[in-house]
A and B are shown apart, each in its own frame.
Chain A
Amino acid sequence: MAGEQLALTVLMGLLLVGVAALLTRIEDWQAYTPFGGGSVTGEETSYGHSEKPGGVIRWLTTVDHKDIGILYGAYALVAFAVGGIMVMIMRLELLFPAEDFITTGFYNSLLTSHGITMLFLFGTPIIAAFGNYFVPLLIGADDMAFPRINAIAFWLLPPGALLVWGGFLIPGIAPAQTSWTMYAPLSVEQTHLGADLMIIGLHLTGVSATMGAINFIATIFTERADDVSWANLDIFSWTMLTQSGLILFAFPLLGSALVMLLLDRNLGTLFFAVEGGSPILWQHLFWFFGHPEVYILVLPPMGLVSYIIPRFAGRKLFGFKFVVYSTLAIGVLSFGVWAHHMFTTGLDPRLQASFMAVSLAIAIPSAVKTFNWITTMWNGKIKLATPMLFCIGFVANFIIGGVTGVFLAAVPVDRLLHDTYYVVGHFHYVIMGAIAFAIFAGIYYWFPIYTGRMYQKSLAKMHFWLTMIGTNLTFFGMLILGYLGMPRRYATYNITIGPIDAITLLHQLATVGAVVLLIGQIIFVWNIVSSWREGRRVENGDPWNLKDDDLYSREFHWFDERLDDDLALADGGDEDKAMTDGGEESTDVDSERQ
């Protein structure tokens, strides 16, 4: 046996040395085109990267921030689809009380993977997609500070995703059933190999996020153009900088805790054993990372909303300075609230009170932002284009998600609602209702820049309304389910006591909402893909008419310059000209101002 392994090792070693030797032979990758010229999408020539390798090799070797942004975005949307399909299976199982068409074990696996997928494989990477593509453009940098580290950070993600989903993909291996929180002792004692793979995958995504954060910090500090000062740094870059600071302190801790968990599982250490560091140590370490993670996910989307709302309200962001200060305040306070996830673990009541106070205090900077968004819109020249609709949806849903969080921060309320669907409803209002909405707003707002085309307006509005209705149907139902005492994480609810009829009805409403959400997202994907391929070309460097209100910004200026370059090379094609918000001839900007 050992002989076979050694022979295999020697073979692998020789192969790898050969590969490495081959790579070092190729001196100039910029000019290396083994698979023929052209790009994968056939539309990328306008990026002015003619010096890059062609074909698949371009995407495998690129260190350009815009290409890496596109890669991050594509990856995150695939993960969003996978996480969405997982939760659809769960919601269909919950349509009726009994165990119907999937086992409880499989439900637990889906539950675990859905959470990890949406937070780490969709949420963090899609923000990195925006950051990579737009932060250098917004601050006038040529690229990220460390382009190669940028590429390493991205390429850690696909293997990470395959490992997180490994339990489903590899036959004969049971997927992890630990929930995304991976509480010890369950996560230590569960023998599934899928759990090891998931933890390793998660560790990789954490390393990736940390490398990305270091890059964003270095870029924003050192690569700004001469005319971009701290005073006029845009709000999105401010939130990316704060988020990167949070990642720098939070993710290495998650990485260390995950390594400790892997060592407990595979090398016999006792970090989280009762006779060692105790299972509660895991909860402290996990939530010291886990709560800042919420703000890691929400701050850049808040930045997107703060950036986009003024451009469709025809005026500058109200109280810019205070929006920046509130971002920094949230960043600092986020590290002082972790134990509000642990009020029911027997924590000292004096500690509970202090964590409650800090948790409640976070409502203040959050409210500062909310009031500033509302005040920016107040009496403004509101244009209800799709990005603006999603921003307004963000504000509405964030208020519900935020206020329900204020209740949960209070110890006595938390004791009642802990581990119920109320918690699930609360954080989904923030994650789906707010974060995902801001991401959709960003995708639509900057669609002309990264595709050179405009999306289809009617499909986009359909996407918004279906998402808004589906989100509220599903997650408001969950808030009421929580008040009725329905515990979270259960695959069945065929109980004999309690308000079973109301619980069944609310579960069915939540499932109907999820189906509405699914239909909305299918329309979204169709819109993005078809518009990217065949949408009307944008020929104006100011597709949102930002110059009218003196809100024209640096990234559209860059886009305009690129359009000029393209026009100089164009062959006089006769494609239709795009209208604002992808509208048809009959809808111009004025008709959108309501």
Chain B
Amino acid sequence: MAEQADVGDRFPTASPWPLFVAVGFTVTELGLFIGIFPVAVAGVLLFGASVAGILTEAEYVGHLWKTMGVFGAVLAAIGLAMVVYGGGVGVEAALGAIDAPNVVGNRLVSRGLAVGAAGIILAVTAATGELLEPAR
């Protein structure tokens, strides 16, 4: 049963993050499944940053930058694993995969590169934020 706590404390009336989480998730799916590198990176970035934002706002986590950094690092690791498993290690192979993402042999590598790149950008942004604004 619900305890009738102070409504103002428990229930927010507005939050900017749900819209961005939803759009980020949508753009991520589009970019990854269709195979459009910039769209995939943008989607993962938007999704990752918004998830960190909404978790912080809802006070499920205490630190925005640390959450974003952990999320970015996990994504970077997943992306890297996909690239290695897909056999796309090396600059030539990576650029080739970005150029032709839906050619046999490039499919997994191109998606892995997108996830990994977005993860690294998220982690770097979080590190920069932590340096500039350690309180958040």
Contacts of A32 in B (CB 8 A): 14
B86 CB → nearest A CB, Å: 10
Within 8 A of B (CB), among A1-55: 1-2, 5-6, 8-9, 12-13, 16-17, 19-21, 23-24, 26, 29-30, 32, 49, 51-53
Interface residue? A62 (CB, 8 A): yes
Interfacial residues of chain A within 192-208, with CB under 8 A of chain B in the complex? 193, 196-197, 200, 203-204, 207
Minimum Cβ distance to chain B for residue A74 (Å)? 16
Q: Are A9 and B49 in contact (CB under 8 A)?
A: no
Q: What are the 9 closest A-B residue pairs judged by CB atoms, nearest first?
A: A151-B18, A155-B22, A20-B49, A159-B26, A12-B42, A2-B95, A61-B14, A8-B38, A152-B18
Residues in A with CB closer than 8 Å to B26 are: 156, 159-160, 163, 200, 204
For A52, A151, A207, A226, the residue with the greatest tally of chain B CB atoms inside 10 Å of its CB is A151
Taken residue by residue from 1 to 30, chain B's Cβ proximity to chain A (1 for < 8 Å, 0 otherwise) reads as: 110100100111111111111110110011
The answer to whether B1 and A226 touch across the interface, beta carbons within 8 angstroms, is yes
Using a CB–CB distance below 8 Å, which chain B residues touch chain A? 1-2, 4, 7, 10-23, 25-26, 29-30, 33-35, 37-38, 41-42, 45-46, 49-50, 53-54, 57-58, 64, 95-96, 98-99, 102, 104, 107-108, 111, 117-118, 121, 125, 129, 136
Neighbouring A residues of B118 by C-beta, 8 Å: 13
**Min CB–CB distance B133 → chain A (angstroms):** 9
A-B CB contact pairs (8 Å), 9 listed:
A5-B37, A20-B50, A60-B19, A63-B13, A142-B10, A148-B12, A148-B58, A155-B19, A267-B108
A379, chain B: closest CB distance, angstroms: 38
CB pair B18–A268 under 8 Å, yes or no, is no
Contact A24 B64 (CB under 8 A): yes
Taking CB atoms, residues of chain A closer than 8 Å to B17 are 23, 148
A51 close to B99 (CB less than 8 A): no
**For the complex, what is the distance from the CA of A13 to the CA of B124, rounded to whole Å?**
12
Q: Is A63 a contact partner of B12 (Cβ separation < 8 A)?
A: yes
Q: Which of B4, B30, B54 contacts A225 (CB 8 A)?
A: B4
Known A-B contacts: A13-B41, A61-B19, A155-B21. Give 11 more (CB < 8 A): A12-B41, A16-B42, A17-B49, A20-B49, A20-B125, A61-B14, A64-B14, A142-B2, A224-B2, A266-B107, A268-B107
- Which chain A residues have a beta carbon within 8 Å of chain B's beta carbons? 1-2, 5-6, 8-9, 12-13, 16-17, 19-21, 23-24, 26, 29-30, 32, 49, 51-53, 58, 60-64, 140-143, 147-149, 151-152, 154-156, 159-160, 163, 193, 196-197, 200, 203-204, 207, 222-226, 262, 266-268
- Alpha-carbon gap, A21 to B57, bound state (A): 14
Q: Which of B14, B38, B125 contacts A29 (CB 8 A)?
A: B14
Q: How far is the CA of A53 from the CA of B19 in the complex (A)?
A: 15
Chain B's nearest CB lies how many Å from the CB of A566? Answer: 19
Cβ of B23: which chain A residues have Cβ within 8 Å of it? 155, 159
Q: Looking at the assembled complex, report how far the CB atom of A211 sits from the nearest CB atom of chain B, in whole angstroms.
A: 10
Which residue of A is nearest B34, CB measured?
A196
A64–B38 Cα gap in the complex (Å)? Answer: 34
How many angstroms from the CA of A200 to the CA of B99 in the assembled complex? 23
Known: A20-B53, A156-B26. A30 touches B33 (CB 8 A): no
- Collect the chain B residues with CB atoms within 8 Å of residue A207's CB: 25
Could you say which of A8, A13, A140, A262 has the most chain B C-beta atoms within 10 Å of its C-beta? A13
| A203 and B16 form a contact (CB under 8 A) | no
What separation, in Å, do the CA atoms of A160 and B53 have in the docked complex?
23
Beta-carbon nearest neighbor of B64 in chain A: A24
Q: In the complex, A61 Cα to B20 Cα: how many Å?
A: 10
In the assembled complex, the CB of A270 is this many whole angstroms from the nearest CB of chain B, namely: 13
Q: How far is the CA of A267 from the CA of B11 in the complex (A)?
A: 43
How far is the CB of A33 from the nearest CB of chain B, in Å? 11
Known: A24-B136, A156-B26, A266-B107. A62 touches B14 (CB 8 A): yes
Q: Is the CB of B107 within 8 A of A267?
A: yes
Q: CB distance B22 to A17 under 8 Å?
A: no
Query: A23 touching B18 by the CB < 8 A rule?
Result: no
- Of residues A9, A20, A60, A63, which shows the largest number of chain B Cβ atoms within 10 Å of its Cβ? A20
Taking the nearest CB of chain A, how far is it from the CB of B65, in angstroms? Answer: 10
Assess the A151–B15 pair: CB atoms within 8 A.
yes
Name the one of B7, B14, B46, B98 contacting A2, with C-beta atoms under 8 angstroms: B98
CA distance A446 to B73 in the complex (A): 49
* Cα A16 to Cα B13 with chains together (Å): 25
Task: Report yes or no: B38 in contact with A9, Cβ–Cβ below 8 A.
Answer: yes
Give A240 Cβ to nearest chain B Cβ, in Å.
Answer: 17
Q: A156-B26, A225-B1 are in contact. Are A9 and B41 (CB under 8 A)?
A: yes
